[in-house]
Amino acid sequence: MRRTIPLILTFCVGMYPIFAFFVPHRVVTNINQNLDTYLVIVAAFALPLGVVNLVMSNINKIKKKDKGWFYSVVLIAGLCLMAFYGIMGGDQGFHAHFQWMFENAVSPLQATMFSLLAFYVASAAYRAFRARNVEATVLLIAAIVVMLGRIPIGDMITGGRLTPISEWLMTKPNAAAQRGIIIGAALGAASMQIRVILGIEQTYLGSGKD
Amino acid sequence: MAPFGIPIGVWINAFLTICILSFLYKDNPFFRFAESLFAGMSLGYYIGIVTENTLKPNLFRPMINDFWGNHNFLLVIPMILGVMLYFRYIRKIAWLARIALAVYIGYYVGVYLMQKLHGDILFQARDTIVPLTMGGIEAVWNVVIIVGVFSVLVYFYFSAEHKGALGRVSRVGIWFLMISFGASFGYTIMARISLLMGRFSFLVNTWVRPMISG
Amino acid sequence: MKIQKLLYIDRRIIYLLVAIGALIPIIRPIGLPVVPSAPVQGLFERVEELEPGDAVMLSFDYGPSSEPELNPMSAAIMRHLFMREVRVMVVAIFPLGGVQIAIREVARITSEFDLEYGVDYVNLGYKDGGQAPMKAMGVSIQDVFPADVETTPTEGMPIVEDVRNYGDIEVVITLATGIIGEWWANLVNAQFGVDVAVGCTAVSAPKYYAYLRSGQMIQRGLQ
Amino acid sequence: MRTSCLVIISIVLVLAAGGAWSQGMSGFPATELRAVDTPSDGGGSIDLEWEGEGLQFVLIMRATSPGGEFETIGDAIASDGSYTDMRLDDQTDYYYRLAYPAGEDTLLGAVAGPAQSKTNWFRSYRKNALVLTALMFILVISYVTQARKGKRLFIRRISGLSAIDEAVGRATEMGRKILYIPGILSLSEIQTIASLSILQHVSKLTAVYGTDIEVPNKDPLVFSAARETVKQAYMEAGRPDQFKEEMVTYLTYDQFAYAASVTAKMVRERPATNFLIGSFFAESLILAETGQSIGAIQIAGTADIPQLPFFVTACDYTLLGEELYAASAYLSKEPVLLGSIKAQDVVKAIIMVTVGAGIVILAFGSNIVRDVLFTR
């Protein structure tokens, strides 16, 4: 019963958007509309689940004076400061301090973390040179052609000959392969989604046979 | 506060940027500081925008301002479902948390199912039906597309061992996949470098240059 | 043997080379020509077809991390739209930073024009839930955004009263990282039939070529 | 704003019409106006159609009684032959007529109507999607029933899956931990659910071998579901005592802050094996390259196509797209789940046959298969 009720609910709630997809009637779309906005609110309620876990584990580290406890202090301080001004809000939308901290701390941290990819892309590409099988070589050649075809310097070196080839690679073999993966992945997802709706797949419900 | 005539915000910005970049050499206390600060602040940021942009306008304000009007009383339903998520920590009623989860997952599974079957499969399948009779090089390229789509789909066929003819076709599929992965990779490299240049440009032009030129 | 050794050098040397490569053009800028690609031309022409008073939805679906790639794109598109006297509804679906960038960029560009807030453009702000608000806007935009980014009620704003759902919108333009552009294509375009233009980061572009071919998108982005 | 627009449009129209008039075009450019409810919609809208020629503008006028006052509601080009009037009230009679501003006068067309808009019960243009959905459901149910009855279904080995057991074994030998990253999207994403079912298999193995596992999370809902999943796996493996709450942790909601914390964890704790299974975006390569640099065995799996190239170059095994979903069914070794893989293979074959037939038929000049697949 403790498992059956959730499974029945998954089925009913899961079938509803499918039904609404085919039925334009107002009665149907109105309920669907409500579900959309409601679930956003449910998801918002989930946030404290994670926050509490993070805060508790860091407070424990501080209490036990674990190695690196100082960093836990930094983490909690950052969290409190940001959340405080975030919840306070301002007269018009966000609090000014909230905006300022976002622009000068969160934003550069995000951007720099993202920019590390430049280095990682290079080292991953470099490693591909060591690969000794045919597939990796094909990958590497396609990568070089497209890269050179996309940058002005590549055009200068090759006299513009690579641009059409790289455009061809993108629009023909690449688009074909992408389409194959899209169709395959959509089928895989659909069959998994049907398993969930029908209650065949229920790992996500977690523990307890009860 | 503006040391060397540069706003304090720029100093913080530059300091944190360098802290993160230092990780490339090796893990160090500066990186660890920035990483912890980042984890904390980003979570705090999210708490802020969820409150300000979702909870306040879509839940609290409508309920407080006009509870009975505009069907606002129905907002009690998502609130109860949201609270149910926490029942997981109370042993006796822990199973009730599953109800909220079941509704949440069930709904999205249904929505996405239609999106995959309708938005992905129908559109992509229809567009693979390309003409071959127009002659010239375009017809050849259309053959390339058809072969590509079919061979990749054969690669993803699980019901038979990939031997003989099937094995050869799926091999062609792997080649198409590798060309596509390579092309994507090559397409991305320069954009990634440009992200890094964005950071460097900040460090050089916004932070260092004004300091030197006073 | 020497080549073998070269293949196994410390990755930090590669990092150093990348860093130098990226620094040089900043310290000593070198001018290189930029040629627009065909899909970019596609969006340009689509915007040219718009008439004054038509409505466009512009969604900021990227965070600060993608700013170097997408800010120039959003600025160019906004200028083009306002020059055509098109009404613009700004939203943000991407959770982290999208709305902050929207506030800053919209303020920056609109200050260059003589525009009336709530009439010629509106910034509705961020809504959580990804596909949920996207779908819900197919029925009513005002229900999804009862208030704008500055918490002013949208009720009574001419643009919001006038543009009720996708039916009243000519083109949805999203500047997107990750999966969000795809959502606009296979949800909003496929189910509501409104044109979707995606300005995306390079990493997503190869996949979008498949959508572009199937007519689900008009373009993929300035590069 | 609207009225001023209308005024401007009207002026332009009058001028344009004047120009047309002066060029000697006369007569009413659009005839046989019909008004009907827009099919397959949620109501509030009426379709107008007429026979028309030429590029002249016609004004569309509406009233609620045939003799009532007609108000201009929009305009169209005569040769377009159609217009959709939206935002109407259902169950109200509407009458329409076209007007053609010719010079000083306005010519009026015949009145059409009454027409009522109504809300419909089926989107007929989605018949094909309905067939596809029904087919998918029927096939999954029928193969699953066959499997339940004990029919053996053949599914080929998926490479990368045997690697999962190997990778857990290696971590055990080395006495180091396993890091399992379930992607960065919430439970609304089906890949995350697939990842959780693979996590269940992996944590059963770690329970049996006594290997340490850690699952850091970005999404709070996934965090709580993953904790239940791991706990359940340890119970099923008969080692509930070995399960620790710290095995599943929450880090932060930001994509890159999460990437920073996880890479730091990799470098500091040096796991022997990394699983990167679920939905990934730009952080994919940050995680995979760092994992590569510490020499961990890495098994990745995602259906986020843009990230596949990065996983392929930086990981030892990658489950590509559909393989991810198949893997989660395959690993459970339950015949019931295998049935659903069979179903997706059959649909795949049907799609290939349909597309193939479409290409052949198109070569003979008929667009019929493309038309059948058309939808919106």
Contact check, Cβ <8 Å, B126/D373:
yes
Residues D346 and D291 in one domain: no
The SS3 call for residue D240 is helix
Residue among B204, B197, B202, B154 nearest B176 (CA): B154
Residues of C in contact with D87 (CB under 8 A): 164
Look at residue D257 and tell me whether its pLDDT is greater than 90: yes
Distance of CA D116 to the CA centre of its chain: 34
Residue D135 lies in a domain: yes
**CA separation for the pair B203, D314 (Å, rounded):** 30
Mutate to test the interface with D, among C179, C198, C208, C220 (most CBs of D within 10 A): C179
Residues of A in contact with B23 (CB under 8 A): 116
Q: Residue D233 — pLDDT band, cuts 50, 70, 90? A: very high
Mutate to test the interface with C, among B47, B105, B113, B115 (most CBs of C within 10 A): B115
Residue among B44, D220, D249 nearest A58 (CA): D249
Q: Residue C215 — pLDDT band, cuts 50, 70, 90? A: low
Residues of D in contact with C65 (CB under 8 A): 255-256, 282
Mutate to test the interface with B, among D248, D270, D351 (most CBs of B within 10 A): D351
pLDDT cut 70: percent of chain D above it: 92
Chains touching chain C through at least 3 C-beta pairs below 8 angstroms are A, B, D
Look at residue D22 and tell me whether its pLDDT is greater than 80: no
Distance of CA B4 to the CA centre of its chain: 40
Mean pLDDT, chain B, rounded, equals: 89
Residue C196, beta-bridge partner list: C172
What DSSP element (H or E) covers C64? none
Selected residue with higher pLDDT from A203 and D218: D218
The SS3 call for residue A209 is coil
C14-18, C111-115, D1-5, D88-92: which range is least confident on average?
A: D1-5
List the domain boundaries for chain A: 1-88, 131-201
Residues of B in contact with D354 (CB under 8 A): 125
Residues of A in contact with C32 (CB under 8 A): 152-153
A4 vs D: CB within 8 A: no
Q: How many domains does chain C have?
A: 1
Give, as one character, the DSSP assignment of residue D360: H
Residue D72, beta-bridge partner list: D61
Q: Residue A161 — pLDDT band, cuts 50, 70, 90? A: confident
Domain containing D328 — which CATH number? 3.40.50
The SS3 call for residue A149 is helix
User: Any idea what the Cα angle at residue D39 is, between residues D38 and D41, rounded to 5°?
Assistant: 85
The set of residues, in sequence order, having a beta carbon less than 8 Å from that of D121 and lying 6+ positions away, is A23, A24, A25
**CA separation for the pair D217, D265 (Å, rounded):** 13
Mean pLDDT, chain A, rounded, equals: 87
**Dihedral sign (CA B200, A122, C65, A50):** negative
Contact check, Cβ <8 Å, C203/B56:
no
Residues D203 and D276 in one domain: yes
Q: Could you tell me whether strands D297-302 and D273-277 are parallel, antiparallel, or unpaired per DSSP bridges?
A: parallel
Contact check, Cβ <8 Å, C96/B45:
yes
Amino acid B14: pLDDT: 95
Strands (E), B64-136: none
Nearest-by-CA chain B residue for D225 = B101
Judge contact between A187 and B120, C-beta under 8 A: no
Contact check, Cβ <8 Å, A42/B81:
yes
Mutate to test the interface with B, among D193, D245, D285, D352 (most CBs of B within 10 A): D352
Residues D262 and D353 in one domain: no
Which residues 34-63 of chain A have a CB within 8 Å of chain D? 43, 46-51, 53-54, 57
Contact check, Cβ <8 Å, D289/A120:
yes
Selected residue with higher pLDDT from D171 and B58: D171
Helices A107-128 and B29-50 sit at what angle, rounded to 10 degrees?
Answer: 120
Contact check, Cβ <8 Å, A191/D348:
no
DSSP D320-352: ETHHHHHHHHHHTT-HHHHHHHHHHHHHHHHHH
Query: Which of B46, B112, B180 lies at the smallest CB-CB distance from A173?
Result: B180
Chains touching chain A through at least 3 C-beta pairs below 8 angstroms are B, C, D
C207 vs D: CB within 8 A: yes
C167 vs D: CB within 8 A: yes
Mutate to test the interface with A, among C4, C12, C14 (most CBs of A within 10 A): C14
Amino acid at B175: W
Nearest-by-CA chain B residue for C201 = B191
Look at residue D94 and tell me whether its pLDDT is greater than 70: yes
Q: What is the largest CA-CA distance in chain C?
A: 76
Q: How many CB atoms lie within 10 A of CB D12?
A: 12
Helices C67-83 and C98-110 sit at what angle, rounded to 10 degrees?
Answer: 40
Task: Determine the distance in angstroms separating the CA of B38 from the nearest CA of chain D, rounded to an integer.
Answer: 6
Residue among C77, C96, C65 nearest C173 (CA): C77
Q: CA distances (Å), C192 to each of A72, B101, C54, C135, C211, in order?
A: 48, 29, 18, 9, 16
User: Any idea what the Cα angle at residue A119 is, between residues A115 and A124, rounded to 5°?
Assistant: 130
Residues D284 and D157 in one domain: yes
**Dihedral sign (CA A22, A27, A28, A34):** positive
The set of residues, in sequence order, having a beta carbon less than 8 Å from that of D315 and lying 6+ positions away, is D276, D288, D291, D292, D298, D299, D300
Nearest-by-CA chain B residue for C203 = B188
**CA separation for the pair C208, C169 (Å, rounded):** 22
Mean pLDDT, chain D, rounded, equals: 86
Structure tokens at A71: 């960093």
Domain containing D93 — which CATH number? 2.60.40.10
pLDDT digits (tens, 9 = 90+) for B143-163: 999 999 999 999 999 988 888
Selected residue with higher pLDDT from C37 and A202: A202
Q: How many domains does chain D have?
A: 3
**What mean pLDDT do residues D139-151 have?**
89
Task: Determine the distance in angstroms separating the CA of B156 from the nearest CA of chain C, rounded to an integer.
Answer: 18
**CA separation for the pair D367, D358 (Å, rounded):** 8
Q: Which domain holds residue D104?
A: 2-115
- Say what the ipTM of the complex is: 0.83
A27-36, A167-176, D116-125, D281-290: which range is least confident on average?
A: A27-36
Selected residue with higher pLDDT from C212 and B68: B68
pLDDT cut 70: percent of chain C above it: 78
Domain containing C175 — which CATH number? 3.40.50
**Dihedral sign (CA A39, A44, A45, A48):** positive
Most confident of the following: A48-62, A153-167, B83-97: A48-62
Task: Determine the distance in angstroms separating the CA of B108 from the nearest CA of chain A, rounded to an integer.
Answer: 7
A155 vs D: CB within 8 A: no
Residue among A107, C22, A75, A41 nearest B103 (CA): A41
Mutate to test the interface with B, among D359, D362, D364, D371 (most CBs of B within 10 A): D359
Question: Number of residue pairs across B and C with CB atoms under 8 Å?
Answer: 105
Q: Residue D113 — pLDDT band, cuts 50, 70, 90? A: confident
Q: CA distances (Å), C4 to each of A77, A137, D119, D295, in order?
A: 49, 17, 72, 19
Contact check, Cβ <8 Å, A103/C100:
yes
Task: Determine the distance in angstroms separating the CA of B49 from the nearest CA of chain A, rounded to an integer.
Answer: 7
Q: Residue D201 — pLDDT band, cuts 50, 70, 90? A: very high
Nearest-by-CA chain D residue for A142 = D309
Task: Determine the distance in angstroms separating the CA of D106 from the nearest CA of chain C, rounded to an integer.
Answer: 25
Q: Where are the alpha helices (DSSP H) in B27-96?
A: 29-50, 61-65, 76-84
Judge contact between B99 and A198, C-beta under 8 A: no
Residue D98, beta-bridge partner list: D60
Judge contact between C183 and C131, C-beta under 8 A: yes
**CA separation for the pair D210, D181 (Å, rounded):** 19
Q: Residue D25 — pLDDT band, cuts 50, 70, 90? A: very low
Residue among B34, A200, A120 nearest D286 (CA): A120
Look at residue D320 and tell me whether its pLDDT is greater than 90: yes
**CA separation for the pair A44, D220 (Å, rounded):** 10
Residue C192 lies in a domain: yes
Contact check, Cβ <8 Å, D122/A22:
yes
**CA separation for the pair D203, B22 (Å, rounded):** 35
What DSSP element (H or E) covers D60? strand D57-63
Identify the burial level of A103 via C-beta atoms within 10 angstroms of its C-beta, where 0-12 means exposed, 13-18 middle and 19 or more buried: middle
Chains touching chain B through at least 3 C-beta pairs below 8 angstroms are A, C, D
Nearest-by-CA chain D residue for A117 = D286
**CA separation for the pair B114, D133 (Å, rounded):** 8
Q: Which domain holds residue C71?
A: 33-213
pLDDT digits (tens, 9 = 90+) for C13-66: 889 999 998 888 888 766 554 444 445 566 777 777 788 888 889 888 887 777
Look at residue B101 and tell me whether its pLDDT is greater than 50: yes
Structure tokens at D233: 């796996």
**CA separation for the pair D276, A195 (Å, rounded):** 23
Residue D145 lies in a domain: no
- Indicate the Cα dihedral angle C14, C16, C17, C19, nearest 10°: 120
Give, as one character, the DSSP assignment of residue C153: B
Q: Which residue has tokens 């942790």?
A: D249
